[in-house]
Amino acid sequence: MVNWVLRTAMAATALLVCSQGALSQTVEVTAASRKALGISTATVRTESTIEGARMFGTVIAPPGNSSPVASPFEAVLLEPLVIPGMQVKAGDPVALMYSPEYETAQAEIESERITAEHMDHLLERVTELRELGLRSAQEADEAEHDSKSAHLNLAASQRRLSAVRSANGAGRFKLVAPASGTVASISVAAGQAVGMSEPFLSIFDGQRYWLDVALPERVANTFSIGSTVSLAGNAGKGTVVAIDPTIDARLQSIRIKIELPETGNWRLGQLVDLSLDTAGHDANMVIPARAIVRTGGMDCVFVDTGDSFRRVEVNVLTRSREDAVLTGGVEPGDRVAISGLAALKNLAEGV
C-alpha cells in the first residue's frame, strides 16, 4: 500500500515537471506528494561564528628568526654542549666536534697568513725601488695585486672558520652560536657524522611565531594577505601573512601561514585551535549539511517556495558533519529541503 502511494505521488509530481526539460529548476510538489515522499525542510540562518569553520595549526619559526649551526668540514659530533630549550648568546660554544680536516684548515690559514705578510714585504720593497727608478710601474702594480690577493685568500679562510674555536686534542674544535636565542632543536646525537655545511642545530630568537595551517581549498580561497583569525585562549588576532599558491592534490588543501600575536605563550610545535573570522561577510548563510545535493557536478539545494521546490546552485564555503556555510544562492529565512532529496533530485533530472 505504501509503495503504491509513493509511486502515485512521484507519478503525479512527474507530470508537473515533464514539460520543463531534462533538468528542471522548479519541481512542483503537492501537499500529498510532500507527505508521501517524506520531504521536510529547515530554515537558512546566519551566524557570526560558523560551526565547522574551526581548524588547528602548528606553531613554527618564521623565516629570518632561526639561525642554523653547521660544521665547515665533514665531522663527527663528539658532544653537544647545549640541549633544546637552553638560552645561548652569540659566540657561546654549542657543540664539540672532531674532523681531521680541521688541522689542515688551520695549517692553510697559517700558510696564507705568512704568504700575505711576505707579499706585503715584497710590495713595500718594490715601492721603494720604484721610487728610486729601479722598478717599473707594471712591477709595482703586480706586487700590489699579489698582496691584495693574498689578503683576500686569508680573509676567506678565516671567515670559513669564524664559527670555530680550538679545543684540546688533535682535530677537535668547538662550534659557537651564530646568534643569541633559544636552542630549538638538535638533529644528531653524540657519535654521529655531520656533513659539511649541513645544519644540525637550530637557534630560535623567539621574536616572532607563525602558525602553519592546512585549509580546504574553498575556505582558503576566501582569505587574502592581511585576513585575521581568532585564536583559542588568546584575545589577540592572528594575521594571514602567506598563502601557498599550490594545492595539495591528495588532500585538496592549501597551506597558509598566520603571524601570531605577541600576547601569547607560544612554543614551537604547539597545536593551536583557531576559528575563521567571517565578520564583514554578510552573505554567508548556514544550512544543515544534509540539504546539499550534487546535480550536474554542482552543489545544489532545493528551496521551498510553497507549492514547489526551486533547485538553486550554491557555493559551499566550508562544511562539517552538521552544517554547511554558503556564500550565495539562498537568503536568510529561506526553507531548504533536508529529507526526500533523492526523490526531488530524480524529479528535477526527469528520471
Of 36, 34, 27, 32, whose CA–CA distance to 6 is shortest? 36
Contact by Cβ (8 Å): 276, 50: yes
Nearest to 310 by CA among 348, 269, 270: 348
Compute how many other C-beta atoms are within 10 angstroms of the C-beta atom of residue 125. Answer: 12
Dihedral class, residue 172 (left if φ above 0, else alpha if ψ from -120 to 50, else beta): beta
Q: Which amino acid is at 258?
A: I
C-alpha dihedral (195, 198, 201, 207), degrees to nearest 10 = 170
* pLDDT for the residue 8: 45
Strands 181-186 and 172-176: unpaired
The domain defined by 68-204 carries CATH number 2.40.50.100: yes
User: Which pLDDT score, from 0 to 100, does residue 222 have?
Assistant: 74
Helices marked H in 132-181: 137-160
Q: What is the pLDDT, as a whole number, of residue 32? A: 86
pLDDT number for residue 317: 75
Q: What's the pLDDT score for residue 225?
A: 93
> What is the per-residue pLDDT for 277?
63
CATH number of 54-64+206-276: 3.90.1180.10, 3.30.70.930, 3.40.50.2300, 2.40.30.170? 2.40.30.170
Please report the pLDDT score of residue 5 as a whole number.
Answer: 41
CATH topology (fold) of 2-51+282-348: 2.40.420
Per-residue model confidence (pLDDT) at position 99: 98
Consecutive 10-residue averages of pLDDT for the chain (351 residues): 45 43 69 88 77 75 96 97 97 98 96 97 96 94 97 96 95 97 96 97 96 85 86 89 91 91 91 72 76 88 93 82 80 93 86 57
- Ordered by start, the domain boundaries in the chain are 2-51+282-348, 54-64+206-276, 68-204
Q: What is the dihedral of CA 176, 180, 184, 185, to 10 degrees?
A: -10
Please report which helix (H) or strand (E) contains residue 183, including its range. Answer: strand 181-186
Q: Is 337 within 8 Å of 288 (Cβ atoms)?
A: no
pTM greater than 0.75 (yes/no): no
DSSP letters spanning 173-235: EEEE-SS-EEEEEE-S-TT-EE-BT---EEEE--S--EEEEEEEHHHHTT--TT-EEEETTEE
Tell which residue, 242, 183, 253, has the closest CA to residue 210: 242
Read off the DSSP letter of residue 221: T
Give the C-alpha separation, 144 to 161, whole Å: 26
Nearest Cα neighbor of 97 from 118, 117, 77, 120 is 77
